[in-house]
Structure formats: C-alpha cells, structure tokens
Amino acid sequence: MDRSEVDTWQAVAGGWERQSAIFTVATARLISRLVELCELQGAETVLELAAGPGETGFAAAARLQDGGRLISTDFAPEMVGVAHRRGSAIGLENVEYRTMDATAIDLDDSSVDVVLCRFGVMLTPDPAVTLGEIHRVLKPGGRAALAVWAEPERNLWISASGMAARELGLAPPPEPDAPGPFRLADKTRLRALVDGSGLDVRALDEVPVEWHADSLDEWWSTVVDTSPTLAALTAAAAADDLAGMRAASEARIAPFVSDDGSVSLPGVALAVGASRR
C-alpha cells in the first residue's frame, strides 16, 4: 500500500470509531458466520487483516482457549489505535495489535492457524497478491474466513451516495477493477481468485446485513464518517452540490424510511471459508 492510501484511511479512522456500534449491530450475523468459518480448534493463532475497529477478530478471540491469541492488524496506524482502545475497553488480553500491510504480511511462512479478513481483500491494490500472502502465512490445513460486499444495488446503505454523486456529475464512474467495496461482488470471480491462490473454497455464502439508523441524518453522518471517497467529496463540494447529492441519495433509499423517520436498509455480504492445501 502506498502512503496516500494509508493517509486516506487514517482520515476516517475517527469516523469508524464513532460509528462502530452501528456496524457491529448491522454485521452481527456476518461476524458470527465468519467466526464459524474459522473452525477454531483450541489454542490457535488467528491473524485478522484490515481489522478496522476490530470487532470481528474480537469475536474470534473470545472463542480461543488458553494460549490462543489474536493478531489484530490494519495498514493504517490510526485504525490499529481504534481497535486497541476498543479491545482494551472490553478486557481482551489475548490480542496483539500491529500495523501491517495485507499485501506484504510481516509474518513468517506457515505461522498462523487462521486468517480472518472482513471487507479488506477488495480494497487492496491486487486481491490476488493479498490472497497469496494469506496462503503463505497459513499453516498447511489452516483456514481463512473472508468477507466482501455483494452488488451495489443490494447494498444501498453504502452505494446510494456514490450512485447519486455520479448521477449528478460530481464523481466519475469507478475505474474497472479499482479497489473498492464492490470489486469482488461477482461470486464466480471471487471463487476463482481464492482457488487460484492455493486455497480451497469450502463455503461461499450470501449473508444478510441489516442496517438501522434512527433518522436520515444519522444515516448520512455514518456514511460520510466511514467512506473515504464520500468524506473527501463532501469536504470539497459546494453547498448546493452537496445538498443535491444528499437529496438524490435519500431519494434512492426512500422506500426504506419508516413513518417515524427511522431507516432500515437490507444488505448482503459474501462470506468465504477456505483452507490451505
């Protein structure tokens, strides 16, 4: 990862910390499924890549037996700090926090039992390189549990604002295969990439995600807080353009707004369980 990418995610680390509760609740079923796919077996070492606020790894750490440990990592130091504060607050003691690039994992070959990565692989410059690194650090027979987003049309909580920005000419269309949340939404391609890395896919599941905000204001602030692209766009946009983008975004999610003003949006993630050959 280059310095600009690190700076981009550093800038929204505070937002992820502020909004972590919404993400934890929304992705509870996904977190549970990823931990199941880890198939934890006693005192193992679990590596979490692109941990962000850390909740997925923390759920795995709570299942480890005495002597097991979680290595919680992110390539942005501020994100590592967020996870460290949250893990300390809930009293986890079997966690090591490290700044680490998922495209060049600073661990020995065959050194971990499990690799866990929720919403990270699709954001790296080359997913094949990242998956190759996951294969390298796993012990023979080790397991990987990964998650990416399904198509943008099925994840309006995240995609509505970007669609609106492009519709209004405020943002260009995404470059083909550029790092982004929906880059690996095609299940056939996702399976081929994982298999091609030397990992055997054991499961590839669609997992519902259930987003809730008490108001449109809360939804909008959450999206701006946690999206590097939208945060930069809203900071640079003129007031009228910003108002238009928000109105167009809200129009896309209008069917999911209740009479009391609360927002309940469905979403879909893809969870992959794989093992090293």
Cα(277)–Cα(274) distance, integer angstroms: 9
Q: Which two tokens stand for residue 249?
A: 């975004």
pLDDT at site 2: 65
Task: Give the Å distances, CA to CA, from 261 to 22, 214, 216.
Answer: 17, 7, 7
Q: What is the pTM of this model?
A: 0.95
Task: Find the helix packing angle between 239-253 and 228-236, rounded to 10°.
Answer: 140
What structural domains and CATH numbers belong to the chain? 3-152+176-212+267-276 (3.40.50.150)
Q: Which residues, in sequence order, are bridge partners of residue 267?
A: 209
Element (H, E) at 156: helix 156-167
pLDDT at site 152: 97
At position 248, the amino acid (one-letter code) is A
At 125 the three-state DSSP class reads coil
What is the distance, to the nearest Å, from the Cα of residue 127 to the centroid of all Cα atoms in its chain? 14
Strand order in the sheet with 112-118: 95-99, 69-74, 45-48, 112-118, 138-149, 263-276, 199-213
pLDDT at site 3: 66
Give average pLDDT by consecutive 10-residue segment, the chain, 277 residues.
73 88 95 98 96 96 95 96 96 97 98 98 97 98 98 97 94 90 97 97 98 97 90 84 95 98 98 96
Strands 45-48 and 263-276: unpaired
